[in-house]
Amino acid sequence: MCGILAIFSADGQPIEAQSLQGSEHSLRELAYRQSGKQRHRGPDDTGVEIIAEQGVAMVHERLAVIGVETGHQPLYSQDGNIALIVNGEIYNYLELTRQIAKRLPGYKPKSDSNVLIELYEQHGQELLQHITGMFAFVLYDRRRRQLLVARDPFGIIPLYMGQDARGNLWFASEMKCLVDVCEQLQIFPPGHVAAGNVKQLQPVRYYKPSWKELMPTQPVNLQELQRQVELAVRSHLQCDVPFGALLSGGVDSSLIASIAARIMRERDANYKLRTFSVGMLGSPDFEHARLVAQHIGSQHTEIAFNVEDCLDGVRDLIYHLESYDVATVRCSLPMFYLARHVKSTGIKMILSGEGADEIFGGYLYFHKAPNYEQFHQEMITRCEQLHVSDILRANKVTMSKGLELRVPFLDTSLVDYVMSIRPQDKIPGQLNEFSGERKWRMEKFVLRQAFAGDYLPDAVLWRQKEQFSDGVGYALIDALPEFSARHVSDVQLLMAEKRFPMNPPKTKEGYYYRCIFEEQFSSEAAARTVEKWAPRLDWGCPEDPSGRAQAAHDKAYGKC
């Protein structure tokens, strides 16, 4: 995983100089300087390509994980006509390499990303139907003066696009690279591709799964579900550097760690997976993570923090997160603290359990879903919003320390399989189609059933959903509103809609985060890239995003 930045002239002509904050810069200087704002994403190398006569600049900030010695970017076609910068990993590149080698004998890619060039030469933009992975890339065909820009189906990898005052088109992995030079700014949507010249470039959807349009009717097959999850984890273990797994002690991250440990021991019977937990002393997560680590035989590390440690990082976190959403900030603080420690151990890639709650309906407020149709539609909505919530957090927080995070539950094939399971098999509780009555059934029930046995201790396999920001220690979530209230007066909150007419905050905590965001990213275009994560108010749930605010939580402090 890395960082990319690209600039394309509005008319395809040279860009001699650009004005930035009152000083003149050549195109190369401008591109290098703006990409420097995301250089934390690629601490290992910076690659620059300037096609001056066509007004094109491409910059790649590299975190070397696969093809460490050979994967310098930009990558080029054999004739030098095509230039490519990629942020992410192509998980089926070995299979693709074998296919390409049949057509091009002796073909040896420099990295997993290299296969995109050969696929483009053969299939054009249809190459996206042949790859699996997490990615955002910009490909430039200089002979045809054509662009190809694409993002993975769920937006695991961030990508922004903007337009400056001269009409030049910009792309970057992080918004901070664009916000002070682009008048127009937007998120490049997940599952979309844009192809053509600069003037005609518009993202169009290439990922069109049937489960978004049709109500699933496929009964769950627990053996197949287990197989699909294990395949997803296996595909995510391609790595040429030391890696580990996050272990919160919840069922999602614990299953990923358990499966990864098993697979690695197939290769080396003495292998010990590195696992990491974060929390306050006495936190629920620590207790359960220890059980898992002992069960799977991992080399486990606990990183403890106190409330002040996290509060110290709020301002820096919002800068890296590029969000003021309360739920997203809350969940990010412990991971922000954790990421630095993990990277300091020499680990460059980490596995995590994000995505399971979205595809299995695992959030506690799903207990209030009124029927199967709304339950399934809410899972679709959560999948579509991953790139502005959990996945945004997971990617940007870890990459702020140059640490790549992989999320096997969002493997496209796995998501397509799970989202095609009929909702009555996944809905928490058990809705009677005729009476409407529901008996209690644990969230993510089919996932837990599929891995019943010796994968995890029962105390973890059947542990109630605990949102990450809660599980690391309830004191942190209790402290954040109190901390924010010291910075925001009652009068300021009453005037919130006047100061922030777009997405006005409703709490002092939200107001405080919004003020910090505005100091760092002052444009309205930047503020519009943020979306709010909250439970369904129309299902009778409180707006507070904490899992403890939901009545289904066994330590609920609110009722829903």
Taking only the tens place, the pLDDT of each residue in 163-181 is 999 999 999 999 999 999 9
Pull the structure tokens for residue 359.
């595809």
- Tell whether the model's pLDDT for residue 189 goes beyond 70: yes
**Same domain flag for 99 and 149:** yes
Q: Which residue has the higher pLDDT, 421 or 553?
A: 421
- CA torsion through residues 470, 471, 474, 477, sign: negative
Q: What is the mean pLDDT of the chain?
A: 91
Is the residue at 476 inside a domain?
yes
Taking only the tens place, the pLDDT of each residue in 116-163 is 999 999 999 999 999 999 999 999 999 999 999 999 999 999 999 999
Looking at 148, 179, 205, which one is the last position of a domain?
205
**Same domain flag for 12 and 87:** yes
The pLDDT of residue 467? 53
**Same domain flag for 200 and 221:** no
**Same domain flag for 447 and 300:** yes
For the chain, give the percent of residues with pLDDT over 90. 80
Calpha distance 63→404 (Å, rounded): 8
Tell me, what CATH number does 472's domain have? Answer: 3.40.50.620
pLDDT band of residue 194 (cuts 50, 70, 90) is very high
**Same domain flag for 184 and 267:** no
**Same domain flag for 169 and 226:** no
**Same domain flag for 247 and 146:** no
Q: What are phi and psi of 302, to 5 degrees?
A: -105, 130
The pLDDT of residue 544? 65
Looking at 205, 223, 246, which one is the last position of a domain?
205
Is the residue at 498 inside a domain?
no
**Same domain flag for 159 and 258:** no
pLDDT band of residue 474 (cuts 50, 70, 90) is confident
Tell me, what CATH number does 95's domain have? Answer: 3.60.20.10
Looking at 142, 174, 205, which one is the last position of a domain?
205
The pLDDT of residue 319? 98
CB crowding 222-260: b at 16 or more within 10 Å, else e: eeebbebbbbbbbbbbbebeebbbbbbbbbbbbbbbbbb
Is the residue at 462 inside a domain?
yes
The pLDDT of residue 51? 96
Taking only the tens place, the pLDDT of each residue in 505-555 is 999 999 999 999 999 999 999 999 999 888 888 888 876 655 445 555 555
**Same domain flag for 114 and 262:** no
CB atoms < 10 A from the CB of 23, how many? Answer: 9
Active-site residue, 310 included:
no
Is the residue at 497 inside a domain?
no
- Active-site residue, from 2, 177, 310, 541: 2
**Same domain flag for 271 and 167:** no
Report helix, strand or coil for 116: helix
Q: Are strands 299-304 and 274-279 parallel, antiparallel or unpaired?
A: parallel
How many degrees, rounded to 5, is the angle at CA 406 between CA 405 and CA 411? Answer: 155
Is the residue at 558 inside a domain?
no
The pLDDT of residue 20? 45
CA distances from 352 to 156, 401, 439, 538 (A): 12, 16, 31, 31
The pLDDT of residue 2? 93
56-65, 127-136, 209-218, 474-483: which range is least confident on average? 474-483
Is the residue at 361 inside a domain?
yes
pLDDT band of residue 557 (cuts 50, 70, 90) is very low
The pLDDT of residue 437? 57
In the chain, how many domains are there? 2
Q: What are phi and psi of 148, to 5 degrees?
A: -140, 115
User: Using H for helix, E for strand and C for coil, what is the string for 261-328?
Assistant: HHHHHHHCCCCCCEEEEEECCCCHHHHHHHHHHHHHCCEEEEEECCHHHHHHCHHHHHHHHCCCCHHH
Q: What is the mean pLDDT of residues 394-417?
A: 97
Is the residue at 501 inside a domain?
no
Taking only the tens place, the pLDDT of each residue in 74-101 is 999 999 999 999 999 999 999 999 999 9
**Same domain flag for 188 and 248:** no
For the chain, give the percent of residues with pLDDT over 70. 92
Is the residue at 60 inside a domain?
yes
**Same domain flag for 195 and 262:** no
Print the domain residue range for 27: 3-205
Distant-in-sequence, close-in-space partners of 276: CB < 8 Å, separation ≥ 6: 244, 245, 246, 247, 300, 301, 302, 303, 338, 341, 342, 350
pLDDT band of residue 21 (cuts 50, 70, 90) is very low
Q: Which residue has the higher pLDDT, 438 or 162?
A: 162
Nearest to 178 by CA among 206, 158, 198, 200: 158
Calpha distance 31→17 (Å, rounded): 11
- Tell whether the model's pLDDT for residue 327 goes beyond 50: yes
- Tell whether the model's pLDDT for residue 475 goes beyond 60: yes
